[in-house]
Structure 1
Amino acid sequence: MSFIFRVHNLERSICQTTSDCRQSTPRATANTRHHGPYLVSASVATPRLLRRQVIELSVIGSLTWIRPVRADLGSRDPYQIEDFDYTFTAPSSGFKFVSTEAPRNERGPAPERSPVRARFDAEEGGANVSVIVKNAQTVKFSLIQVSDITAFGTIEEAAQVLLPRGSVVLTASSEVQQIPSRETPLGVVEIPPKTYYRYDFLAPNGLHIFLSVAAQRGQVYVCSGQSKKEKWDTVKSSLTKSVLSFRLKEGGSLGPK
């Protein structure tokens, strides 16, 4: 079954890169549903956007910390990435960490933290995996704080604001992670489940991209693995396993934005 979409946002898209294309395991059970394939249509004019800067992979950012550990990703010596509000496992075999820390001016104010929290590039070029964090209001305006990616609608509806116009979605799946309840002095607190939308698609600029998208506390999180189409079969295993390992931390952001 095919779906044809009209995109209402995201003219400059998550597949924008430089010229060379420059899990933490969940503690609870999760349910996964699959969809696709379908086309994100570019046949209509895009209305005025809130901002045309939604999610871009080529900007500079900073990573809170990196803690190398052993993990089974099908490659040697992967890195376990620990940020204030998320975790994911990035393969280091064949990939190198790229510092995205903004230059600091000792005489001026501290630079704002970039949307790009982490990035690993293939040593031979042509592929990378990264994590981007953006304010949900820059993706789609809402009068209430976005606490889950389902605030953008179904997985097909969310594609309209998350993916580049003209993208061909090969597969799409949704995973619901059940979060255990928490004991507090006031009693048991039920924690809402967390939803992840995942898209495997071909972008108009020739990139093959696999990404996992989630949201909490007014922020949208995108863990993305991408490569040139001709290189995809070579890096597919490392990229997809890394993206699938992405998890938001329970309790949301505990540090600076």
Structure 2
Amino acid sequence: MAPTAVAQAASAACSTDTGATGLASSPVADTLVSVARADGRIAQFQLFYDATATRGLPFVWHREQNGPGGAYGVWQRVSAATVGPKSYAMTAIENSAGKLELLFSTYGSFCHTVEDDGGPGGWSAVDGFGLAPTPYHGGVVLFKERDGSIDAFASGAYGAGSMELRHQQNAGAGWGPKQSMGQVPDAGVGLSQPSTVEQLPDGRLHVTAREWNRDRTWEIRQTAPGGNWGPWQPAAPAAASPLRAAAPAGATAIGPRPKADAAQASWTAA
């Protein structure tokens, strides 16, 4: 896709289908996302087609357990914003205020909404999140650091560097600006979404990502906790396969699963 086409796709971000009446007519296969909440409940998101939709694209629906280990409530549509086409990526996480943050792909760019007791249907107005991975380069990976802050990683858009990042220090501060994590030194290399994200014992983040079209992995580390990023380097074989253990609360996405161990928080694509 040419850069002009990408720009046109981004301009269509957060498109809505107001003709759909809000029917969960049929689920989209393999799109169930489960998010562990701090109070022990599980929240779930699922894409459903609506037989009354005018554009043929699905919508995000949400339900929650009524208590830890309890039954789930009824499915409720998050908004009239559509998901897809081509990429139906979706991910969610609980923020420092105990509210769910939801990201989903529409026309090549990611849209964002957060739980809002005063909003329509209990969610804030959907807005563009600013991350628009190059087509076929994966989705957004959400990672929660040990201090409760959240990072959102995605493959860079055309001309924007190999990987891009947004950081939320806390829910009150909201999401910071989009940052480039620099360019892989080899010409013509495009990265997929992160394969692993881990927080090292000293607080720095370490990210690995595979090239989208061949089996070669790159890695990058922060130079200081919360600081700038060093250069991209070819990953050592062990760096691309950290130990897997239980998932940190909330960091869940379609497909890849988050992993953590006692020594350091980590996220590993399954």
Asked whether the two chains share a fold, i.e. TM above 0.5, the reply is: no
Report the TM-score, using the length of structure 2 for normalisation.
0.25
More helix by share: 1
Structure scoring higher RCO (CA < 8 A, sep ≥ 6) equals 1
TM-score (norm 1): 0.26
